[in-house]
């Protein structure tokens, strides 16, 4: 990661957004920016936690390894998002890994400084609680889905979530460049199975392909797959 002078942009960082005005200068003074190339790791499972990151630009995948060649993608962190918040608390070790899906810029704040900010800045802490509560809700819903929903539904769910988070291009394609492997890791299934499901969805006219990009054609059909078993 290439280190840069910090540029504090209140529009694109959770910490600045939710911090009281007076703390902004201090935050800027304690921030470090990092430039990441595509594929570069921000941190990985087992690394010691020393601070917290915020994404300025680009797209970071947050995932948890299972095998050497299996993982589950937990979420994608885009501009403004917190990164590494799972390192907060008792445990001083990241339980997850994060790597850049495209060239990205993140900023870093030392954990001591972040925690002392939290102690002082009630609003920030309160927003953080809300943020965590949401993460937990999403996470637990996904737990249930992974346990009970068949792969086809999980793929449908993944596609809709991707469309929600990344929007669509003017030609209707989901606006993210994701390898099939990563899509599979996001849906929590194998490469080949996801591939077949994608084909199935195409032949049912629920989605369409343009190169590797995917467009949702029949949103209701996808939703239907998620609702029932």
Partner DNA sequence: CGTTGGGTTGACTGATCTCAACCTCCGTGG
Partner DNA sequence: CCACGGAGGTTGAGATCAGTCAACCCAACG
Q: Which residues bind DNA (CB under 7 A)?
A: 150-152, 179-181, 189-193, 195-196, 199, 212, 229
Structure tokens at 20: 């009281």
Residues 27-66 that bind its own copies (CB under 8 A): 64, 66
Structure tokens at 187: 């849906």
Distance, CA of 126 to CA of 132 (rounded, Å): 10
Helices (H), 52-208: 111-120, 122-148, 151-166, 180-187, 191-203
Build a one-symbol-per-residue string for 87-126: x at contacts with its own copies by CB under 8 A, - elsewhere.
Answer: xxxxx---xx------------------x--xxx-x--xx
Angle at 171 between CA 165 and CA 176, to 5 degrees: 35
Cβ neighbours for 54, distance < 8 A, ≥ 6 positions apart? 12, 13, 14, 15, 80, 81, 82, 83, 106, 107, 109
| Helices and strands (H and E) in the chain: how many | 8, 11
For DNA, the closer CB: 124 or 178: 178
When asked if residue 20 is in the footprint of its own copies (CB under 8 A), the reply is no
Minimum CB distance to DNA, residue 79 (Å): 24
When asked if residue 5 is in the footprint of its own copies (CB under 8 A), the reply is no
Sole window of 22-30, 97-105, 128-136, 194-202 interacting with its own copies (rule: CB under 8 A): 128-136
Element of type H or E holding 124 = helix 122-148
When asked if residue 133 is in the footprint of its own copies (CB under 8 A), the reply is yes
For DNA, the closer CB: 18 or 181: 181
Distance, CA of 147 to CA of 140 (rounded, Å): 11
The DSSP symbol for 59 reads -
For DNA, the closer CB: 24 or 65: 65
Which of its own copies, DNA, none interacts with 96 (beta carbon under 5 to 8 A by kind)? Answer: its own copies
Residues 141-180 that bind its own copies (CB under 8 A): 141-144, 146-149
Cβ-count burial of 162 within 10 angstroms (0-12 exposed, 13-18 middle, 19+ buried)?
A: buried
Q: Determine phi and psi for 139, rounding to 5 degrees.
A: -60, -40
For DNA, the closer CB: 28 or 215: 215
Sole window of 13-21, 67-75, 102-110, 165-173 interacting with its own copies (rule: CB under 8 A): 67-75
Interface residues with its own copies (CB under 8 A) are: 64, 66-67, 70-72, 74, 85-91, 95-96, 115, 118-120, 122, 125-126, 128-137, 139-144, 146-149, 188-189, 229
């Amino acid at each position: 990661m290439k280190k840069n002078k910090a540029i504090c942009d209140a529009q694109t960082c959770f910490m600045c957004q939710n911090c009281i005005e007076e703390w902004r200068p201090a935050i800027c003074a304690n921030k470090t920016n990092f430039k990441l190339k595509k594929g570069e790791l921000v941190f990985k499972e087992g690394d010691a936690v020393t601070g917290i990151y915020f994404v300025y630009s680009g797209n970071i995948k947050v995932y948890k390894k299972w095998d050497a060649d299996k993982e589950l993608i937990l979420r994608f962190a885009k501009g403004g998002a917190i990164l590494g918040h799972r390192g907060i608390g008792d445990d001083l070790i990241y339980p997850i890994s994060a790597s850049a899906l495209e060239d990205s810029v993140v900023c870093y704040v030392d954990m001591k400084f972040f925690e002392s900010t939290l102690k002082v800045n009630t609003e920030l802490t309160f927003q953080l609680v809300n943020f965590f509560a949401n993460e937990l809700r999403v996470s637990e819903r996904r737990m249930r889905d992974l346990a009970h929903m068949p792969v086809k539904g999980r793929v449908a769910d993944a596609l809709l979530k991707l469309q929600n988070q990344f929007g669509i291009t003017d030609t209707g394609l989901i606006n993210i460049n994701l390898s099939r492997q990563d899509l599979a890791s996001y849906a929590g299934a194998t490469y080949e199975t996801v591939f077949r499901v994608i084909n199935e969805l195409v032949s049912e006219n629920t989605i369409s392909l343009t190169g590797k990009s995917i467009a949702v054609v029949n949103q209701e059909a996808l939703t239907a797959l998620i609702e029932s078993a």
